Amino acid sequence: MARKMLIDGEVNQTNQVEEEAHFDFDLFVIGAGSGGVRAARFSANYGAKVGICELPFHPISSEVIGGVGGTCVIRGCVPKKILVYGANFGGEIEDARNYGWEVNEKVDFNWKKLLQKKTDEIIRLNGIYKRLLSNAGVKLYEGEGKIVGPNEVEMTQLDGTKLRYSAKHILIATGSRAQRPAIPGQELAITSDEALSLEDLPKRAVVFGGGYVAVEFASIWRGMGATVDLFFRKELPLRGFDDEMRAVVARNLEGRGINLHPRSNLIELTKTEEGIKIYTDHKEELLADVVLFATGRAPNTKRLNLEAVGVELDNAGAVKVDEYSRTNIPTIWAVGDVTNRMNLTPVALMEGTCFAKTVFAGQPTKPDYNHIPCAVFSIPPLSVVGLSEEQALEQANGDVLVFTSTFNPMKNTISGRQEKTVMKLVVDAETDKVLGASMSGPDAPEIMQGIAVALKCGATKQQFDSTVGIHPSAAEEFVTMRSVTRRVTAGGKPKTTNP
């Protein structure tokens, strides 16, 4: 029978021999987001007895609020993509006129209707994730978990009751949370959590940040008719992406009517009768209905009691792990954003899968972080896989060949929209191997997923060139880029041509 101890103030002492001889669970997972659920299900499928705990559900998270499905399902990728779909219709309706659709000049948008549909969907998905766990035989607990020993977890239930369970292995999968910069008036701003559940659509929005979340919400609100000002600290948004593609995205954001403020910081927010007043380090002053802070996320480790147990954290508060996702405590592991490796949902799924294989299938498996595709769901989106031009030049031993194609998508020739699609391949000149691919334009993520398979298989430029394209499509450009745009010597400064 499983040992379950009710704790009232003091830790019950148990016989050490009994502790070593028996565990309540083979695995106990703290956090039922993408990585935690995947690890729990797959471990159970390999025959492990698995328990998992998660905070109670709500669309807006806090230290004591979460929900099965985690950030991606409840307050991240999924609801964000639903809003991106909604925002895209704004441009589609404009474009429809030149395709013969007689659309009234004034088209109403019902934000509350979309918001309710979005909420209905995440509630549905929350239920699906619970059923996935149940069907796999995983025991789900609702409450806040923390680690109290190398093989012991304590869970505080919603009524305050504390339970303790022993586990042969413990997995930390608590993800990350949005952070707010420490400036006067920061409490007047919102994060992406609240942005996905706003009661009213803002007419004037200010977004502070230059990453995925910033450009995506700027695109969403602009697509729904708001005036949007995007402030970021660098010369271009999306630091870490290919510089040439960053410039393309910036142009497209401006082309859609978003006001960009590069090399800018917000230094103070104040509340006025007309709205929130924003002060910048360039002595700019703006009024907004909503200010979104999209300035990064921090690992959820503060309330896990990790320091007391001896689990090592890095300077950002992330759990330090080895190549197999194991911490410095042999029985404690961690996957997903809480480790701050590559913070993407499919990566957390991969890490969870590799963990289960390593620990419960007798198949030691390291996550492979090469050729992981990703997308920024701005309007239009950016998607990449492999190395950027800058990364290729840093890693290459010889010359790098850059192939680019800039064109007006066929759809735009009729709609009249002035927005170019840009594609790019980065190739090792000596081996002919394609090192990286990028695309900014409609359907980029759908196209890039297929390109990622090719790169994972080690495709060469000659193999791209010998592949027959689908016509007419934007995707065929990836197999028809015959002429080298530029050849760059490793260590040399790339000369970026702005198409």
Active-site choice (22, 58, 371, 471):
471
Which amino acid is residue 82, in one-letter code? I
Q: Which burial class, exposed, middle or buried, applies to 121 when counting CB atoms under 10 A from its CB (0-12, 13-18, 19+)?
A: middle
Residue 51 is predicted with a pLDDT of: 98
Q: Which residues pair with 146 in a beta bridge?
A: 154
Residue 193 is predicted with a pLDDT of: 93
Fold identical between 181-294 and 373-488? no
The CATH number of the domain covering residues in 25-178+298-361: 3.50.50.60
| C-alpha–C-alpha distance, residues 204 and 210, integer Å | 18
Spatial CA neighbour of 66 closest among 122, 136, 4: 122
Domain ranges, ordered by start, for the chain? 25-178+298-361, 181-294, 373-488
Q: Is the pTM of this model over 0.75?
A: yes
Q: Give the distance between the most distant pair of CA atoms in the chain.
A: 80
Spatial CA neighbour of 43 closest among 165, 137, 141, 125: 137
Residue pLDDT tens, the chain, 499 long: 344 433 333 333 434 433 445 999 999 999 999 999 999 999 999 999 999 999 999 888 888 889 999 999 999 999 999 999 999 999 999 999 999 999 988 889 999 999 999 999 999 999 999 999 999 999 999 999 999 999 999 999 999 999 999 999 999 999 999 999 999 999 999 999 999 999 999 999 999 999 999 999 999 999 999 999 999 999 999 999 999 999 999 999 999 999 999 999 999 999 999 999 999 999 999 999 999 999 999 999 999 999 999 999 999 999 999 999 999 999 999 999 999 999 999 999 999 999 999 999 999 999 999 999 999 999 999 999 999 999 999 998 899 999 999 999 999 999 999 999 999 999 999 999 999 999 999 999 999 999 999 999 999 999 999 999 999 999 999 999 999 999 999 766 544 444 4
Residue 499 is predicted with a pLDDT of: 41
Residue 492 is predicted with a pLDDT of: 60
3-state secondary structure of 403: strand
Give yes or no for a contact between 55 and 69, defined as CB atoms under 8 angstroms apart: no
Residue 308 neighbours by CB under 8 Å, 6+ apart: 148
| Binding-site residues from annotation | 81, 145, 174-176, 209-216, 296, 337
Give yes or no for a contact between 428 and 400, defined as CB atoms under 8 angstroms apart: yes
| C-alpha–C-alpha distance, residues 44 and 52, integer Å | 11
For residue 471, indicate whether it is catalytic: yes
Residue 8 is predicted with a pLDDT of: 38
> Does 181-294 carry CATH code 2.60.40.1220?
no
Q: Angle at CA 390, nearest 5°, toward 384 and 393?
A: 120
| Binding-site residues from annotation for FAD | 81, 145, 174-176, 337
Domain 373-488: top CATH class: alpha beta
Instruction: Say how many C-beta atoms besides its own lie within 10 A of residue 307's C-beta.
Output: 11
Residue 2 is predicted with a pLDDT of: 42
